[in-house]
Amino acid sequence: MLKTKLLHPEILQALGSSGHGSQILIADGNYPYTTCSPQTAKKVFLNLTPGLAKVMDVLNVLVDIIPIESATVIVPPDGQKQEIHDEFKKVLPQEINLKELKRFDFYDAVKSPNTSLVIATGEQRRFANILLTIGVVKSS
């Protein structure tokens, strides 16, 4: 039995196989998981039904498990502010500034060979995708 909040074996395996600079996509229910991510990325489907699991559910667990170096979000064509992006900022480390990319630039960033894990959620809000870059574990 594990003493961590994260119990999902496929996600644990993918994170354990990732390192500094690897990217993790937590994707909403509209994201094209298969066509807009590298074939080499582990794909974990947590999208049981619309609304379950949500992007914030996954992010809240991952922030305690991995060091986060940077985070990138997708923005609508009109650049309108998204409420979920404020929610991301509340749980991410304070020093992280969200980088914003438009749709196709975001897709290109996710398609990088550095993307090692794609987590599909049932999130219903649009533009609720976040691409995390793993940082380094600082020695104490």
In a domain, 3, yes or no: no
What CA–CA distance (Å, rounded) separates 68 from 74? 18
> What domain range is 33 assigned to?
18-134
Burial of 48 (0-12, 13-18, 19+ CB in 10 A): exposed
In a domain, 43, yes or no: yes
pLDDT at 2 over 90: no
C-alpha radius of gyration, the chain, whole number: 14
Contact present, 100 and 73 (Cβ < 8 Å) = yes
pLDDT band at 1 (very low <50, low <70, confident <90, very high): low
- CATH number of the domain to which 36 belongs: 3.40.1650.10
Single pTM value for the model: 0.96
Contact present, 40 and 113 (Cβ < 8 Å) = yes
What CA–CA distance (Å, rounded) separates 70 from 68? 6
Domain count, the chain: 1
> Residue 138 has which token pair?
């600082």
In a domain, 11, yes or no: no
In a domain, 1, yes or no: no
pLDDT, tens digit (0-9, with 9 covering 90-100), for 21-52: 999 999 999 999 999 999 999 999 999 999 99
**Residue 139's pLDDT is what?**
80
In a domain, 129, yes or no: yes
